[in-house]
Amino acid sequence: MYKKENLSPCIYLVCNFFLMTLLACSPSVKAQYYPEPPRIRPDQEPRLLKSYSKNPGNNEKIALLIDLSNLYYNKPYKLKQDISRSLFYAEEAKKLSLARNNQKSFNKAQLRIATALLAQNNFKAAEAILPTLDDSCRLNLLLQFCFMDGVNSIDPHLPGKVKGIMYVDRARALATKLNDKEAELLTRRYRAEAHLSRGKFKEAEHELQQLLKTYNAIGYKRLHYVFLDLSMLNDQTGNYDKALDYALKAANVMAATKDTLAAGDIFMVLGTQFRRESEWEKSIEMYKASAKNYRINAGLATVIYAESQIADVYTGQHQYQKAIDYLQSAIKHIPEGNEVSRQTIISSLADCYLKLKMYNESEHYFLKEFHINKSTDPNSEATYHRIAFFYVESKKYNKAIPYLHEALKHETASTAISTKGHLQFMLFLADSAAGNYRSAISHLRQNKLYDDSALQVGKTAATQNLIIQYETNKKNQRIKILEQNDQIQNSRLKQANLITKITIGGLLLFIAAGIIFYRQFRQRQLAAKIISRKNVQMERLLSEKEWLLKEVHHRVKNNLHTVVSLLEIQAEFLKDDALEAIENSQHRIFAMSLIHQKLYMAEDVKSINMAEYLPELVTYLKESFADQRNITFELNIQPIQLGVSQAMPLGLITNEAVTNAIKYAFPAQQTGKITVSLEKDKENVILFIADDGVGFDRDTEFQRESSLGLKLMNGLSGDINGTLTFFGKKGTHIQIVFPLDPTDGDEKELPIIKREGRNES
């Protein structure tokens, strides 16, 4: 189960609710992607075959043949022999139905034949069956065509690919004729999916949002299919927060309705979204749940694809050998003849060997994957993107360039923004290595445009929230003014009643007082309007300032990352001291860029939570020296908020101290531990960095005070009014004590982060 401290309360409750409900109970299928007959599960195979072997009567035999066809078609692994069996039993049911003149069974058999033909990519033969069916079965088959076009994507070489919207219109007309409201609404979802598969994201979202309103109006409960479509749509457009939100909604509805046909797909989407957030354990848990459900009901992906995603998560954690072992175990369970599943495993193995820098083994698998993809889909951008990615990563840029241009040529409107951005970045690296700097800069600009485009999606949503908040505040101010006016009017009435009881002589005094009061009231009212207008202007200016600060930090972060990339290219042509100097510069620039990244992603753009910043910086340094497998890191970082003027020097000091400890404290692969702690003692902050390595000679080291590392640490300590102290007992110990600047970021109550673990990189 999920740990509450790692998730927001809402996500924590939703995740645990649907996971307990779905994993503890046996699957229950109540609805389907399209209204085919209820699926016959694989565990029913022995019973059906035994009943068929007893040679039952004709009508019972027809029913058994149709059920067997259903069973073999819906097996989780769609093997060629299973589809052939499904087609055989359906043909036998058709022959027997004709002999018995059983029209109802004939239509059912024809529907099963068409379904099997679609699985064999024999679209023309399946389409020819349409006129032979009654209206109900014809509607069912038309909806299957819509489903395959919108989600599974009919083979692009088949003529049916261009007919997707046409089938939606024909199905809707037939559903209207039959007064089948549910099927009519289903066609609206398939229209949205047809738009989605063609990259028409605005049209797809409009259709889905309108469908949600209709479903809510009629009280329709099974909304998780629409939420799943919305999650996939937002994932493709780079709006990952919304993608996760819709995936959680889909899972919540699925748990409530116990309609688990799409469970494999929903868990797959959730696994992907958690993986984007680096929530590794939750991602693996979702992928395992996806694989478990795919073994019961086939979905948009497969069991093997879900298991390959688990291996990819291990790869993301740098546990490459564990990923390879998992994949080798998974490939043993793939039935003979299932080449699609084998291709999935080949792709994951290629990635693992690439991460291990075993380029010969990796190239073998990447080329194998490329030839399979090219034979099945030569016009796909992904076919060329993958092999180009390998040659860029292995620094064989000359081999990468032709594939990169082929991938660029096959981009479509439905290609994800992140994919387009990555392709432009690879072109930048390849052209830089080839010396085509003008072209390289052009590709880098395109990469930044795609990066900014993804950021703009989140900015637009935040802007809408600010507008809503502004309108709400303005409405509240109007209500307050009306209440004040009402109170004033009541006060005036009381005064008028009191004055009428006074003698005629006091009437003149009342008039004078009324005139004075009215003038004061008008002045107060005018002053209130001026103040209200100023408050609105100040609020708008403050909001614009916050956005500008975030944009500045974002631009600075991007520019620093560009410098890191250029340094990395330069490093390929350097050796020894020059190479080390470039790498040290990369680490220092990363320490600074991480500050700006945290600032533009945070709500408060003035200060940094060191409990988030320092662990991420240390993790980066740990992974940068991947060969130091014998070093253990222990972090004890209190949640102290520091402003940029203190956080930046502190990050650079930590970078210098930890880098020196990794490089020099443990010679000859000596085992050891590096400790980093940050705590607050009254008005001071104490940074302590220590290792239990070989230590240092005080006299010798202090005479080398002119070295760049010591100069940086001394200078940066002075910048924050800190005291720098070195200890040499049982290793090297560095302590910096500096006063907390009260004007440079307010301290907040946050949970303490304390980690201890071995470097597995």
- Residue ranges for the chain with pLDDT beneath 50: 1-32, 152-162, 458-464, 466-467, 470, 474, 699-700, 702-706, 745-761
Contact 734, 712 (CB under 8 A): no
Q: Are 141 and 111 in contact (CB under 8 A)?
A: yes
Alpha-carbon distance 454 to 458, whole Å?
7
Helix (H) or strand (E) holding 237: none
Distance of alpha carbon 280 from alpha carbon 561, whole angstroms: 25
CATH topology of domain 1-29+222-298: 1.25.40
Count Cβ neighbours within 10 Å for each residue of 633-657 and write b for 16 or more, e otherwise. bebbbbbbbbbbebbbbbbbbbbbb
pLDDT at 652: 87
Alpha-carbon distance 81 to 691, whole Å?
Answer: 62
What is each CA distance from 372 to 250, 347, 387, 566, in whole angstroms? 34, 11, 12, 35
Question: How many Å apart are CA 580 and CA 572, to the nearest integer?
Answer: 12
Pairing of strands 723-727, 684-691: unpaired
Q: What is the pLDDT of residue 209?
A: 93
Number of residues written out for the chain: 761
Under a CB-based contact definition with an 8 Å cutoff, are residues 227 and 246 in contact?
Answer: yes
Domain 608-758 CATH (choose: 3.10.580.10, 3.40.50.2300, 3.30.565.10, 3.40.50.170): 3.30.565.10
pLDDT for residue 453: 65
Secondary structure (3-state) at 578: helix
Write out 510-538 in H/E/C secondary structure. HHHHHHHHHHHHHHHHHHHHHHHHHHHHH
Q: Do 78 and 341 form a contact (C-beta atoms < 8 A)?
A: no
Taking the mean position of all CA atoms in its chain, how far away is CA 673?
A: 35
Task: List the one residue out of 114, 109, 139 whose CA is nearest residue 124.
Answer: 114
Chain-centroid distance, C-alpha 149: 25
What's the Cα-to-Cα distance from 204 to each of 150, 229, 232, 252, 454, rounded to whole Å? 11, 9, 11, 23, 19
> Residue-wise over 585-613: b if at least 16 C-beta within 10 A, else e?
ebbbbbbbbbbbbbbbeeeebebbbbbbb
User: Does domain 302-378 correspond to CATH entry 1.25.40?
Assistant: yes
Confidence at residue 676, expressed as pLDDT on a 0 to 100 scale: 94
Q: Which residues pair with 637 in a beta bridge?
A: 678, 753
